[in-house]
Chains A and B, each alone.
Chain A
Amino acid sequence: DTGVSQNPRHKITKRGQNVTFRCDPISEHNRLYWYRQTLGQGPEFLTYFQNEAQLEKSRLLSDRFSAERPKGSFSTLEIQRTEQGDSAMYLCASSLGPRNEQFFGPGTRLTVL
């Protein structure tokens, strides 16, 4: 257990539905990251927060995706109008500062039917 928690661990939804995932980072970490991982592949960077500010978004993050970190603590990732191609593991990580190791949560596995 790295100290980063994610909920839910699994989510099954029908195409077109909206889903929201939550990440609780290690409490003193001010940097938070979201990744997407498909089977057999390494995690792909989606977005990055420093405190409450979202500083970078990957072009993988389409308009249907939105992430927030309102108080600089937990973060949510919402996917609107889900598509089958959104099926993946969504990982959250946090770090204490720049150039520090990122600690990963267990991930939320999304299945879109």
Chain B
Amino acid sequence: GESVGLHLPTLSVQEGDNSIINCAYSNSASDYFIWYKQESGKGPQFIIDIRSNMDKRQGQRVTVLLNKTVKHLSLQIAATQPGDSAVYFCAEIIGTYKYIFGTGTRLKVLA
């Protein structure tokens, strides 16, 4: 079936280092992807999105890379800060509204 998954369940990085969170998706027809950040006790919060006609999109301290050939998505966080500690989900959007979320990667920032 359709699925979106993450390679690493937990990622620990030193404060100030760059973080890379990976995601694999399975539906080649998907043309829109979003990264969400979820802190404990809160709902998912939009970080950055990318459409399939792009390979890369940059935001403030975050970059999303899309490799359609291998159906892989990554989120890069520059100069990781303690406030970045959270669970990160990629979501694959099918059609106009159906979001398929992966399992999530927990990012721990070490002081």
Contact = CB atoms under 8 A, between A and B. Distances in A.
Interface of A: 2, 4, 31, 33, 35, 40-45, 48, 56, 91, 93, 95, 98-99, 101-107
Nearest to B102: A42
Interface of B: 4, 9, 32, 34, 36, 41-46, 49, 89, 91, 93, 96-104
Contacts of A4: 43
Contacts of A35: 99
Chain B CB within 10 Å — which of A31, A42, A43, A106 has the most? A42
B4 A45 contact: no
26 contacts: A2-B43, A33-B97, A35-B99, A40-B103, A42-B101, A42-B102, A43-B89, A43-B99, A43-B101, A45-B98, A48-B97, A48-B98, A91-B44, A95-B97, A98-B97, A99-B93, A99-B96, A99-B97, A101-B34, A101-B49, A102-B97, A103-B46, A104-B43, A104-B44, A106-B42, A106-B43
Main SS of chain B's interface residues? strand
Contacts of A31: 97
Contacts of B46: 101, 103
Instruction: Give the 3 A-B CB pairs with smallest separation, nearest first.
Output: A42-B101, A104-B43, A98-B96
A19 to B, nearest CB: 19
A96 to B, nearest CB: 11
- Counting chain B CB atoms within 10 Å of each CB, the highest count among A33, A45, A56, A106 belongs to A45
Contact of A91 (B43, B96, B100): B43
